[in-house]
Amino acid sequence: MAQSTATKWNLKGTVLIACNCDYGCPCNFNALPTHGHCEGGWAWHVQDGRYGGTDLSGLSFSIAADWPKAIHDGNGEAAVLIDERANDAQREALTTLVSGSAGGPWGILKNTWTKVHEPRYVAFEINLAEQRSRVKAGDILELEMEPIKNPVTAAEVTPGAVLPEGFITKDPRFAASKLFRVQDGVHYDHSGKYAAVGSFEYTGP
């Protein structure tokens, strides 16, 4: 009897993160979210990646979600945004990945939401500049980061963390969200809250 073989894939790049928590985000340290619930998401820019024979290098995609409690408590609602430049094969590959069926971080996240909107294909504008990174995905998602400022001197500070068990990124550099707004599928504005930028490298299966 023939045995099916799962599609091999790998992605490497930079992820931008923002949510409604205070700077640093307690979730990074297995603590409960600042306000008891989580509204936030991620934007991944693939610098080098493939899903089977499909090249995904240079593409971006995002998930913005709303959880009524902590992420691990579930019952979340998620909006999926995929780079409109992706061709049919690339769209299928990215849709498969974010569904969680091929593993990776989305294989964990899929267990935390009960409603996922159909992917929207939008133009991505992304500028990777450490704590001044920014991304705009159509008219749906916009994130502009800035360094955190010392509350007394207003001097810029650039803290970060090492997260050996981190499944989104293992090396987040913390920032503030000068602007963070999502307005389709899920809706919120958490400008002036937590943001981060980090590298990622995922493989499967």
1, pLDDT greater than 70: no
- Pairing type for strands 113-116 and 76-83 reads parallel
Indicate the burial class of 162 (C-beta count within 10 angstroms; 0-12, 13-18, 19 or more): exposed
- Section 76-84 average pLDDT: 98
The reported pLDDT for the residue numbered 5 is 73
The reported pLDDT for the residue numbered 180 is 98
163, pLDDT greater than 80: yes
The reported pLDDT for the residue numbered 68 is 97
CA distance 117 to 152: 43
- Pairing type for strands 54-55 and 186-189 reads unpaired
Confidence of residue 2 (pLDDT cuts 50, 70, 90): very low
The reported pLDDT for the residue numbered 149 is 96
- Section 57-61 average pLDDT: 98
The reported pLDDT for the residue numbered 95 is 97
User: What is the chain's mean pLDDT, rounded?
Assistant: 96
Confidence of residue 203 (pLDDT cuts 50, 70, 90): very high
Condensed to tens digits (0 to 9), the pLDDT of residues 10-27 reads 999 999 999 999 999 999
Q: Considering the entire predicted model, what is its pTM? A: 0.95
Confidence of residue 39 (pLDDT cuts 50, 70, 90): very high
Give the residue extent of every domain in the chain.
9-204
Among the listed residues 185, 40, 11, the one whose alpha carbon sits nearest the alpha carbon of residue 98: 11
Tokens of 134: 């920014």
CA distance 65 to 165: 22
Condensed to tens digits (0 to 9), the pLDDT of residues 104-124 reads 999 999 999 999 999 999 999
- Pairing type for strands 148-149 and 186-189 reads unpaired
The more confident residue out of 2 and 200 is 200
Confidence of residue 3 (pLDDT cuts 50, 70, 90): very low
Contacts of 51 by beta carbon, 8 Å cutoff, 6+ apart: 7, 9, 93, 94, 96, 97, 102
